[in-house]
Structure 1
Amino acid sequence: MLEDIQEVSQDVLADVIKDLHAIEDLHISLSRTVVLQHHHIDSFVESLRTTLEINARFSISLRRLHFYTNAERTRTFIALKVDNMHYDKVHKLMEKVDVVMTEYRLQRFYEEPSFHISFLWCLGDKVSVLNEYLDTLESAINVVLGESNAFSLFVKEINCKSGNKEFIFKLK
């Protein structure tokens, strides 16, 4: 379904933003990207595994469209935000990741996180342009979503990437 949302969004915005790119690695971030010393990777991963694998699987819904830029404002992202009803579930996982980050003296996640899945990106800061098309884009996406006006998914694992390695923590 996210592929359909990507496609309909690209169609709606085709005349406004020429170089919209689909994001292939769809995810909800629970931490910032950090540099981890090589000799800490194994113990860091084990700490995350111990902390995360005791958590139960859960469902979430993504509902509201939102536009983000990276810190340098060189890229804009189009995303669906985690529904307020499910925010606490994701926030609790983030807090557990933050504990591990603190143990390794790494930067914690944002004070007021906005959990979302970015599904398209483009170069530059295009937020003001996109805001002009927010209602049109939301209407087109809602047609794809159907009556619920939400995209639901079942969270059964947490992934951690370190260099070219990916570690998967299965929730119970």
Structure 2
Amino acid sequence: MVSVRSEQLEDILEVCQDLLADVINDLHVIEDIHISLSRTVVLQHHHIDSFVESLRNTLEVNARFSISLRHLHIYTNDERTRTFIALKVDNMHYDKVHKLMEKVDVVMTEYRLQRFYEKPSFHISFLWCLGDKVSVLNEYLHTLESAIKVGMDESNALNLFIKEINCKSGNKEFTFKLK
């Protein structure tokens, strides 16, 4: 995953919470904001060290890069038990993130783990609620998009500089610095 910390994102989060307070009463903030490069998988304990080393060798040779987040999107998990409000990675930066994901997929395949989605939609989820609320939240998407433009730059994007990739395994977190 690519961890993300941004004051701009916090402003956008607050605007969305305020606008949706009367619509969704159980809206929760996602504390660990990130862009996923893999699915959540179960890794056997004796494979953790070699898996992390494979990821390190694969990822640390990549250069740092910038991305833009431009549009809101509503997602559900595979089971449709949770709904998420997210900012999508802009199309012009999609390939940069996709190339990293492909490298992670190679490592996942080596360990016989499930690869990422065939057609990934890279995004940062920042709010969630229980249940499938996609249709309800999609009704407010235009209002939310207009309101969050205030927290973005003149190109109506939230720009982020990606300099590290993180991997969590149980209660351990590993950081891979990009060049």
TM-score (norm: length of structure 2)? 0.95
Residue in structure 2 matched with residue 167 of structure 1 by the alignment: 174
**Letter of the 2:131 counterpart:** G
Structure 2 residue corresponding to 1:141, chosen from 148, 151, 170: 148
Q: Write out aligned runs for 1:119-134 (5 A).
A: 119-134=126-141
Structure 2 residue corresponding to 1:49, chosen from 53, 56, 62: 56
Identity of aligned residues (%): 87
Q: CA deviation at 1:158?
A: 0.3
Alignment partners' CA distance in 1, 2:97 and 2:30? 21
Residue in structure 2 matched with residue 38 of structure 1 by the alignment: 45
Q: Are 1:10 and 2:17 matched, yes or no?
A: yes
Q: CA deviation at 1:147?
A: 2.1
Q: What's the RMSD between the two structures over aligned residues? A: 0.6
Q: CA deviation at 1:28?
A: 0.2
Q: Are 1:109 and 2:116 matched, yes or no?
A: yes
Q: Secondary structure at the match of 1:110?
A: coil
Residue in structure 2 matched with residue 91 of structure 1 by the alignment: 98
Q: Secondary structure at the match of 2:18?
A: helix
The farther-off stretch of 17-26 and 152-161 is 17-26
Q: CA deviation at 1:148?
A: 1.9
Query: After the TM superposition, which segments of 4 or more aligned residues of structure 1 sit over 3 Å from their partners?
Result: none
TM-score (norm: length of structure 1)? 0.98
Q: Secondary structure at the match of 1:105?
A: coil
Alignment partners' CA distance in 2, 1:136 and 1:54? 41
Q: Secondary structure at the match of 1:148?
A: coil
Structure 2: 5+ residue stretches without partners: 1-7
Q: CA deviation at 1:146?
A: 4.0
**Letter of the 2:44 counterpart:** Q
Once the two structures are superposed, what CA deviation does each residue of 1:110-145 show, in whole Å capped at 9, x if it has no partner?
Answer: 000000000100111110001111110100111221
Structure 1: 5+ residue stretches without partners: none
